[in-house]
Amino acid sequence: MHDAVRLTTPLSREDVEKLRIGDRVLLSGIIYTARDAAHKRLVELLEAGESLPFDLEGQVIYYVGPSPAKPGRPIGAAGPTTSYRMDAYAPELIRQGLRGMIGKGARNDAVKAAMKEHKAVYFAAIGGAGALMAQSILSAEVIAYPELGPEAVRRLKVKDLPVIVANDCHGGDLYEEGVRKYARTA
Amino acid sequence: MREIHVDAIIAAVRDLCIRANTELGEDVLDAFRKALEREESPAGKDILKRLIQNAEIARTEGVPMCQDTGFAVIFVDMGQDVRIVGGGLREAVEEGVRQGYRDGYLRKSICHPFTRQNTGDNTPAILHLDIRPGDHFRITAAPKGGGSENMSRVTMLTPAVGVQGVKDFVVQRVKESGPNPCPPTIVGVGIGGTFETAALLAKKALLRPLGSLNPDPELAALEADWLEAVNSLGIGPQGLGGRITSLAVHIEMMPCHIASLPVAVNIQCHAARHKETEL
Ligand code: SF4
């Protein structure tokens, strides 16, 4: 297996075009957190023609609702949540410049089409590996919707966050191709 | 009559909630290591290695292994010769959960079904009580995450479908769940009883230590056969393709009505958390 690719945010179109499904990536830089409740609000802002709490261009959103931080730590456990709940909102954010998403589980056709058209990538993080993922998070700051608690939008500074390319911008889908490769017909 | 003070119950529940979330059982870790030997997919191997690391970090740093620290499902098995003093059992369990989720920095994930307003302290807890002769008092805390619980189902099959029909339902459920319940999973199957007991049997099946054989040889054979079928699906760790979709299938069975064949599948993610203690 080849080595992991190191990438730093914001991601360029070229960064994304190089990625293929199955690639292991270590992500560094600034990323943003948002779950369903925050996505709903972000898309409502866009529909109302208002500006977002952060600029989407080239950015990566991590679908996570962390557990509370212990004293002296930036964040608690921080593994991904299931991505399909964000499928209704993701295409609009991709059209607005969002370049990457991190979550777990397959995406729907609308999200995949938007990724292909606008060159975005979907990374799978390891669901349930919250303690491990937290070790790559250097700092966390709530920048919007504090009232949503774990669902607030946070700006995270990450170093070598381990993820796998699950959907690339060329139409590849590891959830489909990986399973097909290992399925045994009875 | 043996007396147990509620303060002891509160402290025990608090502790169990924290420990269940931070200390993954040795049986699960062993199952990860065995899975790593058998997994062929490079991504799958990488994921299994990281899950072992994750459990080690959680244990040594005292942080939850997963940020979804779950609904607090508490089993109390008590002898009928025990008298609880100083307050109510249910209230004591709730208080223990409240303290555990506060003091352990665990995520509060319980909300109103419609408004989605968070209850703020991870209560109410789910309490399953079993009372038998004796003066024992055993508490099990089994926090259950939303991702894998969402993929669980209860169904009432036609008795004519028999063993094959039940197997098909179980395998289909795992297939449709795909990556969502954080594979590698444990598949708890409850067969028989009524609608609600089938679900409870399935949940109890998840408490059996991994690697242990079902005491009923017929069920043990079915567990091996169904595990093989599930692992032929190719879903693999995290659903990214591989040999190890599930670590085990556990079955609990009881008689049912002559007109029915209730079956429940309770899917447990790899964060297979449960801790127990005797008072
Ligand atoms: S399904 Fe389990 S391991 Fe996955 S995020 Fe939920 S609680 Fe954690």
Tell which A residues from 107 to 136 touch B, by Cβ distance under 8 Å. 124, 126-132, 134-135
Same domain, B192 and B173: yes
Q: Find how far residue A27's CA is from the centre of its chain.
A: 11
pLDDT per position as a tens digit, B55-68: 999 999 999 999 99
Please give the residue of chain A at the shortest CA–CA distance from B175.
Answer: A179
Residues in chain A within 8 Å Cβ distance of B180: 82, 84, 104-105
Same domain, B110 and B195: no
User: Is B79 within a domain?
Assistant: yes
Please tell me whether residue B47 adopts helix, strand or coil conformation.
Answer: helix
Residue B87, number of CB atoms within 10 A of its CB:
14
User: Is B219 within a domain?
Assistant: yes
Residues in chain B within 8 Å Cβ distance of A154: none
Q: State how far residue A60 is from chain B, nearest Cα, in angstroms.
A: 20
User: Is A171 within a domain?
Assistant: no
What does the CA dihedral B163, B165, B171, B174 come to, rounded to 10 degrees?
-120
B42-61 helix and B6-22 helix, angle to the nearest 10 degrees = 140
User: Is B48 within a domain?
Assistant: no
pLDDT per position as a tens digit, B148-159: 999 999 999 999
Same domain, B83 and B176: no
CB B198 within 8 A of CB B192: yes
pLDDT category, B116, cuts 50, 70, 90?
Answer: confident
Angstrom distances, CA of residue B29 to CA of A6, A29, A79, B204, B208: 29, 32, 19, 20, 15
Which range marks the domain in which residue B6 is found? 2-20+65-143
Look at residues A8, A31, A48 and name the one whose alpha carbon lies nearest to residue A160. A8
Adjacency order of strands within the sheet including B275-278: B126-132, B73-79, B137-141, B275-278
Is it true that the peptide bond before A10 is cis, omega within 30 degrees of 0?
yes
User: Is A91 within a domain?
Assistant: yes
CB A153 within 8 A of CB A34: yes
Any idea how long chain B is?
279
Helix (H) or strand (E) holding B96: helix B89-103
User: Is A173 within a domain?
Assistant: no
pLDDT per position as a tens digit, B168-213: 999 999 999 999 999 999 999 999 999 999 999 999 999 999 999 9
A174 and B43 within 8 Å at the Cβ level: the answer is yes
Give the separation between CA B216 and CA A54, rounded to whole angstroms.
59
Tally of structural domains, chain B: 2
Give the separation between CA B84 and CA B61, rounded to whole angstroms.
35
User: Is B29 within a domain?
Assistant: no
Give the separation between CA B214 and CA B221, rounded to whole angstroms.
9
Q: Which of B143, B166, B200 is the last residue of a domain?
A: B143
CB B46 within 8 A of CB B129: no
Q: Which of B143, B158, B186 is the last residue of a domain?
A: B143
pLDDT per position as a tens digit, B72-106: 999 999 999 999 999 999 999 999 999 999 999 99
Sign of torsion over alpha carbons A164, A170, A174, A178: negative
Same domain, B199 and B248: yes
Residues in chain B within 8 Å Cβ distance of A175: 178-179, 239-241
pLDDT category, A186, cuts 50, 70, 90?
Answer: low
Tell me, what CATH number does A95's domain have?
3.20.130.10
Average pLDDT over residues B231-253: 96
User: Is B37 within a domain?
Assistant: no
Same domain, B80 and B164: no
ipTM of the complex, rounded to two decimals = 0.90
Same domain, B190 and B254: yes
CA B182 / ligand 1 centre spacing (Å):
6
Task: Determine how β-strand A60-62 pairs with β-strand A100-103.
Answer: parallel
pLDDT category, A3, cuts 50, 70, 90?
Answer: confident
Give the separation between CA A171 and CA A1, rounded to whole angstroms.
22
pLDDT per position as a tens digit, A84-103: 999 999 999 999 999 999 99
